[in-house]
Amino acid sequence: ERTTVLITGCSSGIGLGLAARLAADPARRFKVYATMRDLAKGERLLERLGGCCPDTLELLQLDVTDPCSLAAAAQRVQGQRLDVLVCNAGVGLMGPLETCSDQAMKTLFDVNLFGAVRTIQAFLPAMKSRRAGRIIVSSSIGGLQGLPFNAVYCASKFAVEGLCESLAIVLRPFNIHLTLVECGPVHTSFLANLQRPDPEGSEMRGLDAETQGLYRRYLGHCQSIFRDTAQEVEEVLPVFLEAIGSPCPPLRCASTQLLAPLWRLRLSSPDGSEYVRAMHDFVFGSSETGGDQP
């Protein structure tokens, strides 16, 4: 019997790539429920699969911020058993903290954190009663360590990490495996979609010149990191496939070792000051020590 997989955020990026890969599996091992906010954007996925919808795929409307659409999708799928739930929908928000509007922060948490909570809530009871299932959640390197000018995004992904680590403890006796996937930079629509103020724009008005300068430098750093190190979607898919297929997947899998040295520093020096200094130097260069560091 086929493994059923429901994925959120399939109109682009990692969700689109994962849905296409699973639906096109040569051995037809999967039935994929590819969900997205706007079904009109399903064209790209169908194009990827040769223009028509194979019987290994079903497109469903699902906005993770809308409880009604979640209930409808759960109803549609729950006639079948759901083996794997992939909570992938997510959005970004960048910029000096002073420029993040209340609305932008609330929207970000509504998608990245509460969206994941709602989606898990919708499918968890059936998984529990079957005592089987897998939940895979798109976290981020920014869920493991703070990144400059991504404070609110990192806060949402740290929250996702805490949510899942806590839940995994309870799910152990239910034979439900939960896996967080931490990607670094990946070539998707993520950067184009994320909200960020233009460094020359009106949001910057009133912000101190030093922060404005740091933000400009950060944007330069970000551009070169993406240019030099960003992975293709195809390169991160194996991590998801491993979490779907392995008999006992780990709680966390990173798709890249890009920031691993900084992550280890964060763990080995738990008071955090080493990490803050090293990350500052990594992004802004070590010329600026910013205080009384030796």
Which residues contribute to the site for ligand NAD (CB under 6 A)? Answer: 8-9, 11-15, 37, 62-65, 88-91, 111, 115, 138, 140, 183, 185-186, 188-190, 193
Among this protein's residues, is 153 annotated catalytic?
Answer: yes
Comparison of 91 and 152: residue with beta carbon closer to ligand NAD: 91
Amino acid found at 214: L
List Cβ neighbours of 144 (8 Å cut-off, separation of 6 or more). 161, 182, 254, 263, 266
CA dist 186 and 230 (Å) reads 5
Strand ranges inside the chain, DSSP E? 3-7, 30-36, 57-61, 84-87, 133-138, 176-182, 252-254
Comparison of 90 and 204: residue with beta carbon closer to ligand NAD: 90
Provide the minimum distance between the beta carbon of 215 and ligand NAD in the complex, in angstroms, as a whole number: 19
CA dist 257 and 58 (Å) reads 34
Asked if 183 contacts 142 with a C-beta cutoff of 8 angstroms, the reply is no
The rounded Cα 117 to chain-centroid distance in angstroms is 13
Provide the minimum distance between the beta carbon of 33 and ligand NAD in the complex, in angstroms, as a whole number: 13
Asked if 181 contacts 136 with a C-beta cutoff of 8 angstroms, the reply is yes
Provide the minimum distance between the beta carbon of 134 and ligand NAD in the complex, in angstroms, as a whole number: 17
Comparison of 115 and 197: residue with beta carbon closer to ligand NAD: 115
Provide the minimum distance between the beta carbon of 197 and ligand NAD in the complex, in angstroms, as a whole number: 19
Comparison of 69 and 204: residue with beta carbon closer to ligand NAD: 69
Comparison of 132 and 262: residue with beta carbon closer to ligand NAD: 262
Both tokens assigned to 206: 């009133």
CA dist 68 and 121 (Å) reads 13
Comparison of 99 and 119: residue with beta carbon closer to ligand NAD: 119
Backbone φ and ψ for 57, nearest 5 degrees, come out as: -130, 140
Q: Which residue matches tokens 């083996």? A: 83
Of 153, 215, 218, 275, catalytic: 153
Provide the minimum distance between the beta carbon of 32 and ligand NAD in the complex, in angstroms, as a whole number: 15
Amino acid found at 218: Y
Q: Which residue matches tokens 């990607």? A: 183
Q: Which residue matches tokens 């409307």? A: 61
Provide the minimum distance between the beta carbon of 273 and ligand NAD in the complex, in angstroms, as a whole number: 26
What are the residue numbers of the active site?
153
